[in-house]
Amino acid sequence: MKTDSILLDHGSGGRLSHDLVSDIILPIFDNSILSQLHDGAIIDIEGMRLAFSTDTFTVDPIFFPGGHIGDLAINGTVNDVAMCGANPTYISIGLIIEEGFSVLDLEKILKGMHVAAKKACVTVVTGDTKVVPRGTADKIFINTSGIGLIPGNVDISSHKALPKDKIILSGTVADHGISVLLQREGLKFDSPIISDTAPLNLMVKAILAKTKKDIHVLRDPTRGGVGTSLNEIAEKSSVGMIINEEKIPVKDEVASACELLGFDPLYIANEGKLLAFVGPDLADEILSTIRENEYGKDAVIIGEVISDNPGRVIMKTRIGGTRIIDMLSGEQLPRIC
Amino acid sequence: MPIRHLEEYRDPEISRRIIEKIKNFSGKKVRLMEVCGTHTMSIFRSGIRSVLPKTISLLSGPGCPVCVTNQNEIDSFINLAGKKDVIVATFGDLLRVPGTKSTLQKERARGGDIRVIYSTSDALEIAGRNPDKKIVFLGIGFETTSPTIAASILSAKEMNLNNYFVFSAHKLVPPALHALLKSKDIKIDGFILPGHVSIIIGIKAYIPIVEHYNMPCVIAGFEPTDILHAIFLLIRQIEAGESKLENGYQRVVGFKGNEKAQNIIHDVFKVVDVSWRGIGIIPKSGLVIRDDFSSFDARKAFDLSVPDAPEPKGCACGQILTGIKTPPECPLYYYTCSPSDPVGPCMVSSEGTCSAYYRYHGEP
């Protein structure tokens, strides 16, 4: 760690977040399950494989077009468990509420979480609530943890990408991050930009019903966006990747907002999308399966895994050039001119 | 079909045709400078270098407002952040620039009230909501940005705000171009001129450069076809032995520019000689706040004296900003100086040349 205090960049999901985990957190806890650093931990208990994940949600603003912090909290953990190839079943909720927070808003969030849990077919079975003095938390923070069983013959992790795998992205990028940003900064566009928060476990279930052995990696590109997720997988699997810029789906209004503000949509958070690394023989079939799901209509194959340049993600640009897609180093900041 | 002004300028087929036309020229070696940092980033993001013939070199210029802000000014910004009852309002890019001892980002983590804003209207709002605090806006940028900062000072005056200040470190592009062309070390065959600055200052602002130095110049937009088209026009001039000023960004750049913006700049700021990081003093290239608005001038309102700060040792920012070196030729590049651990501002700024190379080119 090169700083003596924690910076916002350490929470951005990019390189500095990685440094925090690898330099401070991993050495302290030091075990082989944690060091996999997948979306969830895969644990063996008496012959049953369980996926276990936790996430904490501090989004500002707490209400945004397309949802609220409660939706993110349920869908986020459901998705992290699903990205292990598991069937998420039970969720816990931990609430840290700032003194003075509106009871009406709290009810709205909790009712929304109940609806989201039902939609994702998970049950909230335990929880905790803390109230802290005014000014010591920003309205409400929510932690959720989730567990689910992993079916036999499912072996999915960030280390498993293979050369010739096709990389499928289940839909448009940057919707959530831009929606929240515009809401937070009070920037109004005529075309509303809506968060894509959604549960992906049924999509994953349908994929695994088609094949178990040909699905090598699943990842939901949240903080740090698609660009960071691809880099993490390339590094852990020691493979290279070629991504086709033309194939990356971005909504027009999101692309415009990114251009205006100077942001790269590849590094902006998504909350209802997944990346699937699939063996080439079944890639088209899996793509069709994803498109059949209500949250996968815009799914597309964006690239493939190669054996050259391990750890490096290269983009073939629209004009036929090439450039590197690097990992995000810290928070993206708006342009000056 | 109506033009949407979006994907048309990224069209692969149009791009391919322009690239073919460029390849049909003689293949003479040329060195073109893209002045603006946003052009450097756009060139990298679209992969333009990888499709051009190797005989065409694209050099990055000093059009990165964060990069050309000198070390003393950065230290002054950080100094401000430590003052009692001061809220520093800044564009995001300045947050990570390394000063001699700290950064604004580190000072924020240590409790300094530093707020990233998207526009000066945010800064005015903060001033209105915090009458017992002094809000200092860190004014960096070229002609694209200075009109809005000038407008904020005019608004502050109208609103009778006595707690809004601007630290002006604004600079002007045309004097920097003159300085580059006067230098014996810098060899350029043509300029890709900045798009957004040109909207403000107009085509007319560059006429002296073309006439005095016989330098081919093309104003360019930021999309792939814009930049490729500008390169094509420059090569065509060079091959024909011409030196003209051409407007490759006709959809938004006009001859006179935005006269209202020019007037606002003139009303609020006066032009002075200022020092550019890595280049030195460039005559009549910076803006300071006029006496009429001195009550909004942070340089007058605060004691901002900081020890003289040398540029970081080994940092080649100055030579990179003037196209003499590319980032991989800097001994610190990549292994010592990186976005998460920068030595100089060129590695930090979203328009910085070193940052662009690091992100899109990788290891030396």
> Measured between alpha carbons, how far apart are the two ends of chain A, in Å?
32
What residues of chain A lie within 8 A of the CB of B350, using their CB? 262, 333, 335-336
* A201 and A84 co-located in one domain: no
> With 0-12 CB in 10 A as exposed, 13-18 as middle and 19+ as buried, what is A126?
exposed
Task: Tell me, yes or no, whether A71 lies in a domain.
Answer: yes
Domain region containing A76 = 31-149
The amino acid sitting at A93 is I
> Smallest CA–CA separation between B300 and chain A, in Å?
25
User: Can you spell out the DSSP letters for A175-206?
Assistant: HHHHHHHHHHHT---SS---------HHHHHH
Nearest-by-Cβ selection for A319 from B46, B92, B197: B46
Give the count of alpha carbons within 13 A of A59, CB side only.
31
* A207 and A252 co-located in one domain: yes
**pLDDT for residue B1:** 63
Contact of B109 with chain A, judged by CB distance below 8 Å, is answered with yes
Q: What is the interface pTM, i.e. ipTM, of the complex?
A: 0.85
- Which position has the token pair 């048309």? B8
- Would you say how long chain B is, in residues? 364
In whole angstroms, give the CA distance from residue A204 to residue B1: 41
Contact of A260 with chain B, judged by CB distance below 8 Å, is answered with no
Contact of A185 with chain B, judged by CB distance below 8 Å, is answered with yes
- Compare all CA atoms of chain A with the CA of B227 and give the residue at the minimum distance: A319
Nearest-by-Cβ selection for A252 from B6, B50, B339: B6
CATH code for the domain in which residue A90 is found: 3.30.1330.10
- Compare all CA atoms of chain B with the CA of A254 and give the residue at the minimum distance: B6
* A219 and A128 co-located in one domain: no
**pLDDT for residue B274:** 95
In whole angstroms, give the CA distance from residue B142 to residue B200: 10
Query: How distant is the alpha carbon of residue B182 from its chain centre?
Result: 20
* A239 and A98 co-located in one domain: no
- The answer to whether the peptide bond before residue A280 is cis (omega within 30 degrees of 0) is no
Query: pLDDT truncated to tens, each residue of chain B (364 aa)?
Result: 666 677 788 899 999 999 999 999 988 999 999 999 999 999 999 999 999 999 999 999 999 998 999 889 999 999 999 898 999 999 888 988 899 989 999 999 888 999 998 889 999 999 999 999 999 999 999 999 999 999 999 999 999 999 999 999 999 999 999 999 998 888 899 999 999 999 999 999 999 999 999 999 999 999 999 999 999 999 999 999 999 999 999 999 999 999 999 999 999 999 999 999 888 999 999 999 999 999 999 999 998 888 887 778 888 888 898 888 999 999 999 999 998 888 988 998 878 899 989 988 888 8
* A143 and A172 co-located in one domain: no
* A287 and A172 co-located in one domain: yes
What residues of chain B lie within 8 A of the CB of A318, using their CB? 10-12, 15, 46, 224
In whole angstroms, give the CA distance from residue B245 to residue B157: 40
Per domain, the residue ranges of chain B are 71-172+257-298, 317-359
Beta partners for A68? A63
* A171 and A136 co-located in one domain: no
Contact of B66 with chain A, judged by CB distance below 8 Å, is answered with yes
Nearest-by-Cβ selection for A336 from B47, B141, B224: B141
Contact of A328 with chain B, judged by CB distance below 8 Å, is answered with no
* A227 and A98 co-located in one domain: no
Rounded (10°) angle between helices B224-239 and B12-23: 20
Yes or no: say if B80 and B105 are a contact pair by the CB < 8 Å rule: no
Average pLDDT over residues A89-105: 97
Quick count: other Cβ atoms within 10 Å of Cβ A24? 12
Task: Please tell me the pTM assigned to this model.
Answer: 0.90
CATH 3.40.50.11740, applies to B71-172+257-298? yes
Yes or no: say if B48 and B228 are a contact pair by the CB < 8 Å rule: yes
Contact of B16 with chain A, judged by CB distance below 8 Å, is answered with yes
Contact of A319 with chain B, judged by CB distance below 8 Å, is answered with yes
* A100 and A221 co-located in one domain: no
> With 0-12 CB in 10 A as exposed, 13-18 as middle and 19+ as buried, what is A2?
exposed
